[in-house]
C-alpha cells in the first residue's frame, strides 16, 4: 500500500470550508485515493474516492494534484456533525484491505 501522510488535527469554523490535505508521494499509476471518516466510535464511513480526476459527491469534493502525489478533501460547508477523524487511504490492489493510519482529527466549532 502507498503510504499516506496527514496532519494530526485541524480546526474549522461551522459553515466554512474544511480542506484536509493528504500526501501520497509513492502512489502508483493505477492506485486510487480513498477517504473515510469515523465519527466518535461509530463504524468508519466512506466519503469519496478518485484516481486522477477531481471528484465531487453529495458529501465532499476530492482534488488530486496532477502528479497524484497529494490530494485534498473539501467539505464545502462544515457542520458540527462533521467533527470526526478523517482517513486518507491508498488501498493498492483491488480488494485489498484498507489500512488505517492515524488520520486527521477535524474539530468543527460554532
Q: Does 57 bind other proteins (CB under 8 A)?
A: no
Q: Does 53 bind other proteins (CB under 8 A)?
A: no
Q: Does 44 bind other proteins (CB under 8 A)?
A: yes
Q: Does 54 bind other proteins (CB under 8 A)?
A: no
Q: Which strand (E) or helix (H) includes residue 9?
A: strand 9-13
81 or 94, CB closer to other proteins? 94
Sign of torsion, CA 43 47 48 49? Answer: negative
Q: Does 45 bind other proteins (CB under 8 A)?
A: yes
14 or 31, CB closer to other proteins? 31
> Residues interacting with other proteins, by CB under 8 A?
32, 34, 38, 41-46, 49, 91, 94-102
Amino acid at each position: 500500500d502507498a503510504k499516506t501522510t496527514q496532519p494530526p488535527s485541524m480546526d474549522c469554523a461551522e459553515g466554512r470550508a474544511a480542506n484536509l490535505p493528504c500526501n501520497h508521494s509513492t502512489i502508483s499509476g493505477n492506485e486510487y485515493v480513498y477517504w473515510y471518516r469515523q465519527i466518535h466510535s461509530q463504524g468508519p464511513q466512506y466519503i469519496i474516492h478518485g484516481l486522477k480526476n477531481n471528484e465531487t459527491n453529495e458529501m465532499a469534493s476530492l482534488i488530486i494534484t496532477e502528479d497524484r502525489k497529494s490530494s485534498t478533501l473539501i467539505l464545502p460547508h462544515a457542520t458540527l456533525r462533521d467533527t470526526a477523524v478523517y482517513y486518507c487511504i491508498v488501498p493498492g490492489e483491488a480488494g485489498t484491505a484498507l489500512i488505517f493510519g492515524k488520520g486527521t482529527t477535524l474539530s468543527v466549532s460554532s
